[in-house]
Amino acid sequence: MTNRTLRKTIYLRATPETVWAYLTDPDKLSTWFHAPKAPLVEGRFEMFGTTSGDLLIWGEVLRAEPFRHLDYSFTVKPMGDAVSTVRWTLTPVEGGTELALIHEGLPHTAEAFDLTLNLDKGWDDHLGRLRATLHG
């Protein structure tokens, strides 16, 4: 048995440096995702709801290669003790950046399928907000 993996790729009219800031800077992250209290650099982090202030996501930044790769462990309450991994890859392309997301290690049981569906939709929603934010 293997765990489930979500894969998403979007194109953004912004440099990798700008996209990186939106993946790591608390003020910029809060415009499209959730709000950490500190920049995402290697080590532990927590993200909070932008309106509720509730702790929503926690984990550890495993790799932070500015403007290229950001990997972190990812846990939310519905996952219980399970830990997944989010991997971002930024690739410069003519006119902007290709941003690829791999969210791997999700529980694969039938009981956990609703979690997968919610995360899949959630990433679509968040990435849409990131695109709208960067493209004005």
Beta-carbon-side half-sphere exposure of residue 113 (alpha carbons within 13 Å): 3
The domain that contains 128 carries what CATH number?
A: 3.30.530.20
For the range 44-53, what are the long-range contacts, defined as Cβ-Cβ under 8 Å and sequence gap of 24 or more? Answer: 45/72
Q: What is the pLDDT of residues 91-136, one digit of tens each?
A: 999 999 999 999 999 988 888 899 999 999 999 999 999 999 999 8
Instruction: Determine the pLDDT at residue 96.
Output: 98
* Token pair 């926690």 in the structure block, residue: 58
Q: What is the pLDDT of residues 9-37, one digit of tens each?
A: 999 999 999 999 999 999 999 999 999 99
Residue 1 has pLDDT above 70, yes or no: no
Please give the tally of structural domains in the chain. Answer: 1
Bridging pattern class, strands 69-74 and 84-93 = antiparallel
Instruction: Determine the pLDDT at residue 3.
Output: 82
Q: What are phi and psi of 132, to 5 degrees?
A: -60, -40
What is the domain range of residue 88?
4-135
Q: Do 62 and 41 meet the contact criterion of CB atoms below 8 Å apart? A: no
Q: What is the pLDDT of residues 39-66, one digit of tens each?
A: 999 999 999 988 888 999 999 999 999 9
